């Protein structure tokens, strides 16, 4: 009999804090994410408060949603915030040219977004318009949101019914400036980011963490240019610089952008290619982190992965501009692998936002356009199982022996992904068995602290293609896992094929 693989975890050696903001979200005016997803309007038959769906809020509160990025995406650089304030019936309309070429009536605007954040208990991450907006426009938006005196913008906010300023901790300076956000060169954008960042002011005790639109995938030279733009003024290590973080976007697709693969109809080889593409996030993060390290060894500048997740071909019969896709067990494993990578780079990645929360791309929640029924996706359940990692300290996982691999597109794909974290008297270990056909047995060699108890949860299904629908909302849901037992070194853990398992430990 072959010896089981051993994963050594030193429970008494906590590392960097895994910010809860790594579990952040993204909601764009795209398809049915805002309209029909978050916002149904006050007259809807779906239970709501101020037009905001209560079931969606409740589901997201249950996974402790830490922040929400809005209004885009590409939409952000077309969005003029003054169109979304004041009486709804007199708000101007616009064309959402990026997403379906539909008419946007601006009924969901600044006040609705901030109300949503308050209901969710989430921090606001507002994405400001650099592509087609002015410096003044951005500066006034911050003033409108966060200022507490009789300044012109604070007075306008009061006139629109909100007395107290809001807290807005995160601010995006543009989005994908290399593409839909203005097709700029890195040098041109770096200058604009410094300029706009200057006018995104801290009002009162609201301190804004400014995030400059960063690189696409492995465009390390974009990151280098933005880091240089801080460092030649000696700001890279000064948290009071023009921007405090850079973003990064990377999506997992299966084919190419012309044919990204189907969400539910895929074969075994497609699955492994997907897992390889998901794991590619590690290489990309490492590359950007290396560039950042060379300018900022003290890690004062954050990396914000504010768009990540799977991007499949849209579901048949849906608007191609609405990016609506189903979500299977495969998507859940893409998510769990990403979190392992984010945990490993917790000393550099300060935030991550899956794209997108409701009805768009790798969503947590799908809502039926006709009945309004809500379905929680397998990806949602990974977020739920990982709540224990929020603000915990990362623990290193070292393997004794070789992790099994499989050849995929000429490279060896690791078939196991593990990460762990600890708080004062608990630890959480996350294990993804990416082997679609075989179970794995792992011994957790737990050192440095004694165990007072453990409990485990597993997310899996009969097939990789399994997904939840209004008719079968619980086809893929986490259940208690009885495949964990005491072992002389710690715990032995059975991992069923294509499964995600979390083991929570109580520590003495
Ligand atoms: O998430 C969908 C789109 O993907 C976003 O609007 C854009 O930033 C990215 O290209």
**Which one of 388, 422, 450 terminates a domain?**
388
Q: Where are the beta strands (DSSP E) in 110-244?
A: 123-128, 170-173, 209-216
Token pair for residue 448?
């440095």
Sequence-separated (6 or more) residues with CB below 8 Å from residue 159: none
Residue among 29, 74, 98 to mutate when testing ligand 1 (max atoms within 8 A of CB): 74
Residue 422 shares a structural domain with residue 364: no
Residue among 73, 260, 320 to mutate when testing ligand 1 (max atoms within 8 A of CB): 73
**Which one of 360, 388, 416 terminates a domain?**
388
Tell me how far CA of residue 189 lies from CA of 192, 206, 211, 227, 417, in angstroms.
Answer: 5, 26, 13, 12, 37
User: 178 CA to middle of ligand 1, Å?
Assistant: 12
User: 153 CA to middle of ligand 1, Å?
Assistant: 30
The rounded distance, in Å, linking the Cα atoms of 123 and 361 is: 22
Token pair for residue 366?
């799908």
User: 360 CA to middle of ligand 1, Å?
Assistant: 10
Query: For residues 463 and 25, is the Cβ–Cβ distance under 8 A?
Result: no
Q: In tens digits, what is the pLDDT along the chain, a chain of 508 residues?
A: 578 999 999 999 999 999 999 999 999 999 999 999 999 999 999 999 999 999 999 999 999 999 999 999 999 999 999 999 999 999 999 999 999 999 999 999 999 999 999 999 999 999 999 999 999 999 999 999 999 999 999 999 999 999 999 999 999 999 999 999 999 999 999 999 999 999 999 999 999 999 999 999 999 999 999 999 987 655 555 555 799 999 999 999 998 999 999 999 999 999 999 999 999 999 999 999 999 999 999 999 999 999 999 999 999 999 999 999 999 999 999 999 999 999 999 999 999 999 999 999 999 999 999 999 999 999 999 999 999 999 999 999 999 999 999 999 999 999 999 999 999 999 999 999 999 999 999 999 999 999 999 999 999 999 999 999 999 999 999 999 999 999 999 999 999 999 999 999 999 9
User: 64 CA to middle of ligand 1, Å?
Assistant: 24
The β-bridge partners of 221 are: none
Tell me how far CA of residue 101 lies from CA of 12, 106, 166, 256, in angstroms.
Answer: 55, 14, 32, 24
Quick one: angle between helices 186-199 and 220-231, nearest 10? 50
Q: Which of 89, 307, 411, 474 is catalytic?
A: 307
Residue 312 shares a structural domain with residue 198: yes
CATH number of the domain to which 403 belongs: 2.60.40.1180
Q: Whose CA is nearest to atom 7 of ligand 1?
A: 73
Residue 29 shares a structural domain with residue 115: yes
The atom of ligand 1 lying closest to the CA of 26 is 1
Residue 377 shares a structural domain with residue 399: no
User: 206 CA to middle of ligand 1, Å?
Assistant: 28
Residue 363 shares a structural domain with residue 448: no
Residue 383 shares a structural domain with residue 401: no
The atom of ligand 1 lying closest to the CA of 98 is 6
The rounded distance, in Å, linking the Cα atoms of 262 and 328 is: 11
Q: What residues flank ligand 1, with Cβ below 6 Å? A: 28, 72-74, 175-176, 307, 355-356, 361
Q: Which of 28, 112, 143, 176 is catalytic?
A: 176
Residue 484, classed as helix, strand or coil, is strand
State how many domains the chain has: 2
> Nearest-5° angle of CA 44, CA 47, CA 50?
70
Report the half-sphere exposure of 261 (CA within 13 A, side-chain side).
26
**Which one of 334, 367, 388 terminates a domain?**
388
The alpha carbon of residue 240 and the mean position of all alpha carbons in its chain are separated, in whole angstroms, by 25
The atom of ligand 1 lying closest to the CA of 28 is 6
Q: Whose CA is nearest to atom 6 of ligand 1?
A: 73
The atom of ligand 1 lying closest to the CA of 179 is 10
CATH number of the domain to which 158 belongs: 3.20.20.80
Residue 85, classed as helix, strand or coil, is coil
Q: Whose CA is nearest to atom 9 of ligand 1?
A: 73
The atom of ligand 1 lying closest to the CA of 73 is 6
The rounded distance, in Å, linking the Cα atoms of 9 and 252 is: 29
The rounded distance, in Å, linking the Cα atoms of 392 and 420 is: 9
| Element (DSSP H or E) covering residue 497 | none
Residue 196 shares a structural domain with residue 243: yes
Residue 366, classed as helix, strand or coil, is strand
The domain containing residue 292 runs over which residues?
17-388
Residue 428 shares a structural domain with residue 303: no
Active site (annotated) includes residue 104: no
User: 74 CA to middle of ligand 1, Å?
Assistant: 6
Q: Whose CA is nearest to atom 8 of ligand 1?
A: 73
Q: How many CB atoms lie within 10 A of CB 460?
A: 23
Residue 173 shares a structural domain with residue 239: yes
User: 38 CA to middle of ligand 1, Å?
Assistant: 18
Residue 267 shares a structural domain with residue 332: yes
- Could you check whether the bond before residue 73 is cis, i.e. omega within 30 degrees of 0? yes
Q: Whose CA is nearest to atom 5 of ligand 1?
A: 73
Tell me, what DSSP letter sits at residue 259? B
Active site (annotated) includes residue 187: no
The rounded distance, in Å, linking the Cα atoms of 214 and 175 is: 8
Alpha-helical regions (H) of 349-483: 378-385
Query: For residues 476 and 381, is the Cβ–Cβ distance under 8 A?
Result: yes
């Amino acid at each position: 009999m072959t010896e089981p693989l051993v994963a050594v975890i030193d429970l008494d050696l906590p590392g960097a804090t895994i910010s809860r903001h790594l579990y952040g979200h993204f909601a764009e005016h795209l398809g049915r994410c805002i309209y029909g997803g978050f916002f149904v309007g006050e007259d809807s038959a779906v239970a709501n408060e101020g037009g905001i769906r209560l079931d969606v809020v409740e589901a997201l509160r249950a996974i402790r949603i830490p922040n929400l990025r809005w209004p885009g995406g590409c939409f952000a650089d077309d969005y003029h915030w003054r169109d979304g304030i004041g009486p709804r019936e007199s708000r101007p309309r616009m064309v959402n040219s990026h997403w379906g070429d539909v008419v946007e009536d601006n009924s969901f605007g600044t006040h609705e977004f901030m109300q949503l954040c308050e209901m969710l208990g989430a921090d606001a991450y507002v994405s400001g318009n650099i592509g087609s907006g002015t410096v003044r426009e951005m500066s006034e938006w911050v003033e409108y949101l966060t200022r507490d005196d009789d300044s012109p913008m604070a007075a306008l906010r009061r006139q629109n019914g909100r007395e107290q300023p809001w807290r807005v901790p995160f601010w995006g300076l543009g989005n994908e400036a290399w593409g839909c956000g203005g097709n700029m060169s890195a040098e041109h954008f770096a200058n604009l980011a410094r300029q706009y960042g200057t006018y995104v002011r801290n009002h009162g005790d609201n301190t804004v963490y400014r995030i400059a639109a960063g690189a696409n995938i492995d465009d390390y030279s974009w990151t280098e240019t933005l880091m240089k733009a801080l460092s030649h003024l000696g700001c890279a290590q000064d948290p009071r610089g023009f921007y405090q973080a850079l973003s990064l976007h990377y999506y997992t697709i299966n084919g190419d952008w012309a044919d990204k693969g189907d969400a539910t109809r895929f074969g075994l080889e497609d699955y492994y290619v997907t897992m390889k593409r998901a794991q590619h996030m590690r290489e990309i993060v490492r590359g950007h982190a290396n560039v950042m390290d060379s300018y900022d060894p003290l890690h004062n500048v954050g990396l914000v992965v504010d768009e990540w997740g799977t991007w499949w071909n849209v579901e048949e019969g849906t608007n191609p501009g609405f990016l609506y896709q189903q979500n299977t067990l495969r998507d859940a494993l893409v998510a769990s692998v990403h979190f392992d990578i984010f945990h490993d780079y917790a000393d550099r990645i300060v935030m991550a936002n899956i794209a997108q929360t409701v009805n768009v791309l790798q969503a947590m929640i799908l809502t039926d356009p006709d009945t309004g029924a809500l379905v929680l996706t397998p990806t949602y359940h990974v977020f739920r199982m990982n709540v224990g990692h929020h603000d915990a300290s990362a623990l290193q996982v070292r393997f004794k022996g070789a992790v099994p691999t499989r050849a995929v597109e000429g490279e060896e794909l690791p078939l196991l992904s593990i990460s762990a974290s600890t708080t004062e008297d608990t630890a959480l270990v996350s294990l993804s068995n990416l082997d679609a056909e075989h179970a794995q047995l792992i011994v957790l060699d737990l050192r440095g602290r004694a165990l007072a108890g453990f409990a485990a949860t597993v997310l899996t299904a009969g097939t990789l293609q399994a997904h939840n629908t209004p008719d079968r909302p619980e086809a893929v849901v986490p259940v208690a896992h009885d495949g964990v037992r005491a072992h002389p070194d710690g715990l032995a853990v059975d991992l069923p094929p294509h499964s995600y398992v979390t083991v929570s430990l109580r520590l003495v």
